[in-house]
Amino acid sequence: MIRFAFLGAGKMASAIAQGLIAGGIVTPENIACLGGTGTSARRLAETTGIRLATGLDDLLNNVDVLVLACKPQQFKLLDPRLKELTKGKLVLSVLAGFTTARLAEFFSQARGVVAVMPNTPTQVQAGVTAWAAEETLAPADASLVEKCFGCLGTVIRIKESLMNTVSAVSGSGPGFFFEIISAFEAAAVTAGLDQETARQLVRQTFIGSARLLEKTGDSPDALRDAVTSPNGSTYAGLQVLAKHDLRGIFPQVIAAAVVRSGELGKM
Ligand SMILES: NC(=O)c1ccc[n+]([C@@H]2O[C@H](COP(=O)([O-])OP(=O)(O)OC[C@H]3O[C@@H](n4cnc5c(N)ncnc54)[C@H](OP(=O)(O)O)[C@@H]3O)[C@@H](O)[C@H]2O)c1
């Protein structure tokens, strides 16, 4: 069985580690983790049975794959000994904005480096992960990436030049959808519903709409039209979205996230 090490044991590392275990790719005793202060790594170890490493040497001893899952801002604080310690290993980095060239410069003795962009629904095996690697990545390692993230949801290999865009769309995407749901719930309460009723109605409407989209394979435009009668109540609500230029806002939302992703990659 492949042995994994997680350097950084926060939200994204937890989602990936839990998904890998649930998907049968690896058992907890074949994963080790290490964080910064130690708080998150201890929590991850306690909740999953993963081994809490005592230090970098211990973390990387006898390991095939290193998953780098600290914050981009923490990259510069990483111990330079990682270069030696990752010799011959595969390094998968989830750091937003980090190019494989930059990663390969740091992990210069690794057998391959891969830039991976998962998202948080990975923790319920409904994620989508985009990844990019240099041409030289061995086919067996490419298959390994597909297999690991395939059990966490959908996996797509993309051109590296699109990584910041993907980061904005699917990496940050859950955050945008959750903000919309939260605003929708607040509006339902303002309109007179109690909190719990608003919560149930909005969440189930969102989940049901997503399932309908998935099951029918119809476009969102077609599904929107199916619920919109001429001059009906949905139409009236949609007019307000159009008046406030919803379609003009989203390109700005994505552009801001793309720019920030690029900035994070230079930290
Ligand atoms: N969250 C998302 O939706 C998402 C999506 C795609 C990609 N990502 C990427 O995932 C990465 C992690 O994000 P997150 O949301 O999981 O962050 P997080 O929950 O804050 O976790 C960060 C982890 O890094 C550890 N850490 C801090 N300093 C370190 C150091 N010097 N060396 C090693 N580890 C250190 C922290 O340990 P302590 O707690 O012990 O300090 C913690 O375990 C980011 O690079 C982000 O770009 C996130």
Distance 11 CA to ligand 1 centre (A): 7
Q: How far is the CA of 71 from the centre of ligand 1 (A)?
A: 4
Atom of ligand 1 lying closest to residue 11 CA: 16
Q: 3-class secondary structure for the chain?
A: CCCEEEECCCHHHHHHHHHHHHCCCCCHHHEEEECCCCHHHHHHHHHHCCEECCCHHHHHCCCCEEEECCCHHHHHHCCCCHHHHCCCCEEEECCCCCCHHHHHHHCCCCCEEEEEECCHHHHHCCEEEEEEECCCCCHHHHHHHHHHHHCCEEEEECCHHHHHHHHHHHHCHHHHHHHHHHHHHHHHHHCCCCHHHHHHHHHHHHHHHHHHHHHHCCCHHHHHHHCCCCCCHHHHHHHHHHHCCHHHHHHHHHHHHHHHHHHHCCC
Whole-number Å distance, alpha carbon 95 to ligand 1 midpoint, is: 8
Q: Report pLDDT for 103.
A: 96
Cα angle: 2, vertex 126, 250; to 5 degrees: 125
Task: State the Cα–Cα distance between residues 111 and 27, nearest whole angstrom.
Answer: 23
Among protein residues, the one with the nearest Cα to ligand 1's atom 1 is: 12
User: Which phi and psi angles does 127 have, rounded to 5°?
Assistant: -80, 175
Q: Which atom of ligand 1 is nearest to 12's Cα? A: 16
Per-residue model confidence as pLDDT tens digits over 156-195: 999 999 999 999 999 999 999 999 999 999 999 999 999 9
Closest CA to 43 of 4, 5, 7, 14: 14
Pocket test for ligand 1, best of 7, 40, 85 (most atoms within 8 A of CB): 40
The answer for residues whose C-beta is within 8 angstroms of residue 152's C-beta and 6 or more apart is 15, 16, 19, 20, 23, 118, 122, 125, 127, 129
Domain boundary assignment for the chain: 4-160, 173-264
Contact 123, 19 (CB under 8 A): yes
pLDDT tens, residue by residue, 33-71: 999 888 999 999 999 999 999 999 999 999 999 999 999
What's the confidence (pLDDT) of residue 33? 98
Q: Is the separation of the CB atoms in 68 and 94 below 8 Å? A: yes
* Ligand 1 geometric centre to CA of 226 (Å): 42
Query: Phi/psi of residue 77, each to 5°?
Result: -90, -5
Q: In Å, what is the CA distance from 215 to each residue of 16, 108, 129?
A: 26, 45, 21
Most ligand 1 atoms within 8 A of CB, residue of 31, 70, 82, 169 to mutate: 70
Cβ proximity of 21 and 28 under 8 Å: yes
Cβ–ligand 1 contact at 37 (below 6 Å): yes
Ligand 1 in contact with 9 (CB < 6 A)?
yes
Per-residue confidence (pLDDT) for residue 19, from 0 to 100 = 87
pLDDT at 130: 97
CA–CA gap between residue 82 and residue 57 (Å, rounded): 9
Architecture of domain 4-160: 3-Layer(aba) Sandwich (3.40)
- Domain 173-264 top-level CATH class: mainly alpha
Ligand 1: centre distance to CA 85 (Å): 20
pTM of the model: 0.91
Nearest CA to ligand 1 atom 48: 12
> pLDDT tens digits for 101-157?
999 999 999 999 999 999 999 888 899 999 999 989 999 999 999 999 998 999 999
